[in-house]
């Protein structure tokens, strides 16, 4: 039975006869001397892949003496590569993690070379080569050169030490703290393989709502055991640091970042960590947000806090990623503005090994948000991207929502921070900011479920994240296609419809949940299901009314200069576009404007009718997804077919639940009818 455990690394036989023949022609034998754990990992993967895809491992040879030899390694590991001056030249721009895959003549023989400057690049190159076969791509004339555009490509696990996962919908945490370090779950290695296959090179093992216990000696030994597995795959381990750790596990009276004893405590703690884990990556910190401790508790600011930790890890080349997701204990006038208000004044005050990590939007991983106004606003500080892979506000474990399109939308948004064409992606990579450090993080959707991510299609979000962190210019559609081919099949009758279903899936969810710029109208606490009505939560800004502001006059959050003026935090071109209702794109209409129910939208409808149409369209789109999937019967193994089918039934039900609840609720304000021709809300 197909459990989905193998993710996109299934390595099933190539069925197309003529392709199989050419693939075999180009993989007649293997020259791959491997003398260390990373090269061994790459070699094992290649053997596994070849066996699955082509039916057998390649015979090994010391020299390239036949056409069709595959040569793999670095100039240091492989003489056939050392002997090629051209390869050496081409490798210069590949840097630390890059690689090339080329069809070249070696000793007069037609060979394929997978070469890198360093071992991890070889591993990445091998995965790329396997991907070519997995996706049935041609391999006869290759001239591929790749290197990552972002330096730190990180999964953020919101995993707790008791194995619960905050906003996790795929079972318990895969980190089995109770049996570590003695027992090493084989799954850690498969996790590393999956990540290396998409270029993820960093993982934060613990929740940003951190527990200081992770920094005790007993837990650090467990962390070291995990790091020992990941090292071969080029993955560095990071931890979250609870700011009050010096008090909680250090016995100090304060955690004031300017207190010499506190600073010494962190210096010693970091030394202890690096003794166990010489390649430890550093810390991710959530401070003074949602009740977490932080420097502000001592009258200090984010830079004081970050720099204290940065100084401690700097001698070991560690980094500090400091989150800009700040949400205070006092009810803000508009929480949209808080991050810019707190961080803009600190630009230039952070140590060089600090990154500020910004969520894609200013509220909180909504089905759709405009890009965060902090992107491009910090000119002297590297800004890291934080995307969410786990679908907290997006149907969680049950709805099929491909987030590649959502990531792409944010990465391609133009901030105008350095003039026109200052896309978010160029800020993240450092292309226009010239920042030497860069990072993209994804809040993990991984758990102990047999298929890792809960919904079979949620694996695509992990995959898309990794591919975009490697190269933020890739297209969501191309990534979806790769994933479909590797995860399901290369059958053209499956690839195109399933890819298109994925490409439309997020828009469908926006339509049945929060169309036209609505946001945060989910059920309280769980954030699952609709909840636009009042709730019993104790704070005004925890009630959906704070966001949708519906009344008899209209609906929407006025964030223009006559309202909260959050638009003022965007660069002038963007600000003016959002300030004016006529230049605000439909998708952000109610995000920035409070409009009368009878307002005429671009579609030349009343706002009410447009809203109704979007909610109904969302349901129709889910039904179309069901039809598409039904056609895949027999083209996908029975287990995964049945599981997705079952989940789509739930999704259709819940899309109607969303539509009907929201429309019936908003109708109490608009007092307008559902236009004729539509099925009745139930
Ligand atoms: O969206 C909120 C989530 C919290 C999360 C927080 C954050 C880790 O509801 O569960 O806490 O964001 O990103 O810090």
Does residue 400 surpass a pLDDT of 90?
yes
pTM of the model: 0.98
Query: End-to-end alpha-carbon separation of the chain, Å?
Result: 39
What pLDDT digit, counting tens, does each position of 418-466 carry? Answer: 999 999 999 999 999 999 999 999 999 999 999 999 999 999 999 999 9
The predicted model gives 307-330 an average pLDDT of 97
CA of 137 to the centre of ligand 1 (A): 41
Query: Given a cut of 90, is residue 2 above it in pLDDT?
Result: no
Catalytic-residue membership of 392: yes
What does the pLDDT average to over 389-416?
Answer: 98
Give the pLDDT mean for 185-204. Answer: 98
Q: How far is the CA of 436 from the centre of ligand 1 (A)?
A: 29
Residue percentage of the chain with pLDDT more than 70: 100
- Sign of the Cα torsion 484, 485, 489, 490 reads positive
Place of tokens 């690096």: 274
Across the chain, mean pLDDT equals 97
Architecture of the structural domain at 511-557+594-670: Alpha-Beta Complex (3.90)
Active site residue 652: no
**Ligand 1 centroid distance, CA of 547 (Å):** 17
What is the rounded CA–CA span in Å between residue 626 and residue 500? 13
- Cα-Cα-Cα-Cα dihedral of 196, 458, 394, 341, to 10°? 0
Can you identify the CATH homologous superfamily of domain 17-146? Chitobiase/beta-hexosaminidase domain 2-like (3.30.379.10)
With cut-offs at 50, 70 and 90, classify the pLDDT of residue 313.
very high
Q: CB–CB of 57/51 below 8 Å? A: yes
- What's the confidence (pLDDT) of residue 134? 98
What's the rounded mean pLDDT across residues 276-296? 98
pLDDT band with cut points at 50, 70 and 90 for residue 1: low
By most ligand atoms within 8 Å of CB, the mutation choice from 290, 291, 338, 393 for ligand 1 is 290
Residue range 543-558: average pLDDT? 97
Rounded Cα distance, 163 and 231, in Å? 23
Q: In this predicted model, what pLDDT tens digit does every residue of 616-636 receive, in sequence order? A: 999 999 999 999 999 999 999
List the chain domain ranges: 17-146, 152-487, 511-557+594-670
Q: Which residues pair with 415 in a beta bridge?
A: none
Annotated catalytic residue within 45, 146, 334, 392? 392
Neighbours of 527 (CB within 10 A): 18
Residue 682: band (very low, low, confident or very high) from pLDDT cuts 50, 70, 90: confident
The whole-number pLDDT of residue 57 equals: 86
Distance of alpha carbon 103 from alpha carbon 113, whole angstroms: 6
Say if CB 442 and CB 155 are below 8 A apart.
Answer: yes
User: What's the gap between Cα 662 and its chain centre?
Assistant: 29
Among 157, 160, 164, 166, the mutation site with the greatest number of ligand 1 atoms within 8 A of its Cβ is: 166
CA of 313 to the centre of ligand 1 (A): 26
Which token pair is 42? 């790459």
| Tokens of residue 293, six digits | 């401790």
Q: Band of the pLDDT at 145, cuts 50, 70, 90? A: very high
The second-level CATH assignment, the architecture, of 152-487 is Alpha-Beta Barrel (3.20)
**DSSP secondary structure of 608-670:** HHHHHHHHHHHHHHHHHHHHHHHTTBTTB-HHHHHHHHHHHHHHHHHHHHHHHHHHHHHHHHH
Cα distance between residue 84 and residue 80, in whole Å: 7
| 580 close to 426: Cβ distance less than 8 angstroms | no
- By alpha-carbon position, which residue is closest to atom 2 of ligand 1? 364
60 is catalytic: no
Q: Do domains 17-146 and 152-487 have the same CATH topology?
A: no
375/397 Cα distance (integer angstroms)? 30
Q: Helices in 489-582 by DSSP H: which ranges?
A: 492-513, 545-548, 572-579
Around ligand 1, the residues with Cβ closer than 6 Å are 158, 166-167, 208-209, 286, 290, 325, 364-365
Span from the CA of 248 to the centroid of ligand 1 (angstroms): 22
What is the band of 272 on the pLDDT scale with cuts at 50, 70, 90? very high
Q: What one-character DSSP code corresponds to residue 423?
A: B
Q: Which of 347, 364, 431, 500 is catalytic?
A: 364
């Amino acid at each position: 039975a197909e459990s989905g455990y193998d993710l996109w690394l299934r390595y099933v036989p190539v069925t197309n006869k003529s392709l199989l023949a050419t693939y075999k022609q180009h993989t007649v034998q293997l020259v791959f001397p491997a003398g260390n754990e990373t090269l061994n990992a790459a070699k094992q993967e290649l053997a596994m892949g070849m066996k699955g895809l082509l039916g057998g491992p390649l015979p090994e040879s010391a020299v390239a003496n036949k056409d069709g030899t595959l040569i793999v390694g670095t100039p240091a590991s492989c003489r056939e590569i050392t002997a090629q001056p051209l390869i050496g030249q081409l490798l210069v721009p590949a840097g630390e993690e890059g690689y090339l895959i080329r069809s070249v003549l070696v000793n007069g023989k037609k060979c394929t070379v997978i070469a890198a400057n360093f071992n991890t690049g070889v591993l990445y190159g091998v995965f790329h080569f396997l991907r070519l076969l997995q996706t049935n791509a041609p391999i006869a004339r290759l001239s591929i050169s790749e290197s990552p555009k972002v330096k730190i490509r990180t999964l953020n696990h919101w995993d707790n030490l008791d194995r619960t996962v905050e906003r996790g919908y795929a079972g318990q945490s895969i980190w089995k703290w109770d049996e570590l370090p003695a027992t090493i779950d084989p799954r850690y290695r498969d996790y590393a393989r999956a990540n290396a296959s998409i270029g993820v090179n960093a993982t934060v093992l613990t929740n940003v709502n951190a527990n200081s216990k992770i920094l005790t000696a007993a837990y650090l030994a467990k962390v070291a055991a995990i790091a020992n597995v990941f090292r071969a795959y080029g993955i560095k381990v990071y931890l979250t640091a609870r700011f009050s750790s010096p008090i909680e596990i250090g016995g100090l009276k304060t955690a004031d970042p300017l207190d010499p004893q506190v600073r010494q405590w962190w210096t010693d703690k970091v030394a202890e960590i690096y003794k166990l884990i010489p390649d430890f990556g550093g810390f991710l910190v959530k401070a003074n947000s949602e009740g977490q401790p932080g420097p502000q508790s001592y009258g200090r600011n984010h830079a004081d806090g970050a720099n204290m930790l940065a100084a401690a890890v700097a001698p070991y080349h560690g980094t500090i990623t400091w989150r800009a997701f700040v949400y205070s204990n006092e009810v803000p006038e508009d929480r949209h503005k808080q991050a810019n208000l707190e961080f803009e004044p600190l630009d230039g005050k952070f140590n060089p090994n600090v990154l500020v990590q910004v969520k894609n939007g200013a509220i909180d991983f909504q089905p759709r948000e405009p890009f965060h106004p902090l992107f491009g606003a910090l000119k002297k500080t590297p800004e890291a991207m934080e995307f969410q892979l786990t679908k907290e506000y997006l149907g969680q474990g049950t709805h099929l929502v491909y987030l590649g399109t959502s990531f792409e939308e944010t990465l391609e948004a133009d901030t105008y921070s350095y003039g026109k064409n200052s896309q978010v992606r160029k800020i993240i990579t450092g292309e226009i900011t010239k920042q030497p450090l860069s990072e993209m993080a994804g809040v993990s959707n991984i758990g102990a479920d047999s298929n890792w991510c809960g919904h079979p299609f949620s694996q695509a979000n992990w995959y898309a994240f990794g591919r975009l962190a490697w190269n933020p210019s890739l297209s969501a559609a191309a990534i979806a296609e790769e994933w479909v081919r590797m995860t399901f099949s290369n059958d053209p009758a499956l690839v195109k419809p399933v890819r298109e279903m994925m490409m439309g899936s997020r828009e469908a969810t926006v339509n049945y949940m929060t169309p036209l710029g609505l946001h945060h109208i989910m059920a309280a606490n769980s954030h699952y299901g609709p909840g636009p009505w009042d709730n019993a939560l104790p704070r005004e800004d925890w009630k959906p009314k704070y966001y949708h502001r519906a009344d008899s006059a209209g609906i929407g959050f006025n964030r223009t200069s006559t309202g909260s003026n959050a638009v003022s935090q965007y660069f002038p071109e963007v600000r003016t576009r959002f300030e004016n209702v006529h230049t605000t794109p439909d998708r952000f209409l109610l995000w920035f404007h409070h409009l009368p129910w009878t307002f005429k939208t671009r579609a030349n409808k009343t706002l009410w009718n447009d809203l109704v149409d979007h909610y109904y369209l969302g349901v129709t789109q889910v039904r179309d997804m069901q039809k598409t999937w039904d056609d895949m019967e027999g083209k996908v193994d029975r287990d995964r077919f049945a599981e997705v089918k079952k989940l789509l039934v739930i999704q259709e039900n819940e899309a109607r639940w969303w539509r009907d609840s929201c429309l019936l609720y908003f109708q109490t304000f608009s007092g307008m009818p559902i236009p004729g021709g539509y099925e009745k809300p139930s």
